[in-house]
């Protein structure tokens, strides 16, 4: 049995909190959430300061590569509140691909994605800074597999709509559900990988992690004086 099994969590990241435990800036951090995080916990697939919703945290260092750097794309669904009424023409533009500006000053055409106009959820938690309800606006769900920097905000801005609120609802079948802002839920390893649809190569995670550590550090574990293996990452 692995004496140090990996652990997996989801949280509902609150508005105005960065997806980090440490920052040189005076900001709200993940460590401010009232929870006893195990050593080595880190966020996967960050949300920016103004975004909310589903955020994965784990002690397993290979999840980022499996989830966001694999050849198999993984769907992420967001609830998006924008200013003004979205017309059918602009909805179609968002669905079929639109030009956005990316880092370095270049431009990129987004891949086709699922975009629907929806009603505002009745159970949506309020946040500290709310927009006026009497002004025209639209609620959308957007499901995509890409992850360019601030992609959704740039997409809606490209069709002349300001993003007022952005909440990640799910990654594949791993859902935020009714978890309140700042809430934490631990997920069992088998359920975590099954819901994220990550290929596990038929190996228990504890075995894979052991093999991974041997490949990257082939020196005998019982010999603490052996030199460290070179960093291949």
Domain ranges of the chain: 1-72+172-213, 75-171
Buried-state track 110-143, b at ≥16 Cβ within 10 A, e below 16: beebebeeeeeeeeebeeeeeeeeeeebbbbbbe
Helix or strand holding residue 65 (H, E): helix 63-68
pLDDT in tens, 189-218: 999 999 999 875 444 444 444 443 333 433
Q: Give the mean model confidence (pLDDT) for residues 218-228.
A: 31
Q: Can you give the pLDDT at residue 187?
A: 97
- 3-state percent helix, strand, coil for the chain, nearest multiple of 5: 20, 25, 55
Q: Give the mean model confidence (pLDDT) for residues 29-43.
A: 96
Q: Can you give the pLDDT at residue 200?
A: 58
Q: Are 47 and 152 in contact (CB under 8 A)?
A: no
Does 1-72+172-213 match 75-171 in CATH topology? Answer: yes
**pLDDT band per the 50, 70, 90 thresholds, residue 4:** low
Strand 52-58 vs strand 99-101: parallel, antiparallel, or unpaired? unpaired
The pair of structure tokens assigned to 33 is: 């959430």
Q: How far apart (Å, rounded) are the C-alpha atoms in residues 213 and 228? A: 12
* Residues with Cβ within 8 Å of residue 45, at least 6 apart in sequence: 55, 56, 64, 67, 68, 76, 147, 171
Which residues are identified as catalytic?
48
Q: How far apart (Å, rounded) are the C-alpha atoms in residues 120 and 79? A: 9
Q: How far apart (Å, rounded) are the C-alpha atoms in residues 3 and 203? A: 17
- Tell me the β-bridge partners of 52: 167
* Residues with Cβ within 8 Å of residue 193, at least 6 apart in sequence: 200, 205
Q: Are 83 and 108 in contact (CB under 8 A)?
A: no
Write down the architecture of domain 1-72+172-213 according to CATH.
2-Layer Sandwich (3.30)
pLDDT in tens, 150-185: 999 999 999 999 999 999 999 999 999 999 999 999
**CATH number of this structure's domain 75-171:** 3.30.70.1560
Q: How far apart (Å, rounded) are the C-alpha atoms in residues 158 and 180? A: 31
- Tell me the β-bridge partners of 76: 144, 171
Q: Give the mean model confidence (pLDDT) for residues 70-82.
A: 92
pLDDT value at 103 more than 90: no
| Total residues found in the chain within this entry | 233
């Amino acid at each position: 049995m692995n004496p140090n099994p990996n652990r997996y969590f989801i949280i509902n990241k609150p508005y105005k909190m960065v997806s980090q435990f440490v920052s040189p800036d005076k900001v709200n951090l993940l460590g401010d959430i009232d929870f006893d995080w195990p050593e080595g916990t880190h966020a996967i697939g960050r949300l920016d300061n103004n975004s909310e919703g589903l955020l994965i945290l784990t002690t397993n260092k290979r999840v980022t590569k499996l989830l966001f750097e694999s050849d198999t794309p993984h769907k992420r669904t967001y609830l998006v509140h924008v200013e003004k009424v979205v017309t059918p023409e602009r909805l179609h533009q968002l669905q079929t691909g639109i030009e956005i500006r990316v880092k370095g000053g270049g431009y990129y055409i987004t891949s086709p994605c699922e975009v629907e106009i929806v009603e505002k959820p009745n159970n949506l938690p309020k946040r500290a800074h709310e927009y006026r309800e009497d002004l025209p606006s639209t609620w959308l769900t957007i499901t995509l597999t890409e992850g360019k920097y601030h992609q959704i905000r740039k997409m809606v801005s490209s069709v002349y709509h300001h993003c007022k609120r952005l909440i990640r609802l799910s990654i594949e079948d791993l859902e935020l559900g009714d978890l309140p802002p700042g809430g934490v839920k631990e997920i069992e390893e088998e359920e975590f990988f099954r819901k994220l649809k990550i290929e596990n190569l038929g190996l228990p995670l504890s075995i894979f992690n052991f093999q991974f550590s041997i490949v990257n550090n082939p020196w005998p574990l019982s010999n603490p004086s052996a030199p460290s293996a070179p960093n291949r990452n």
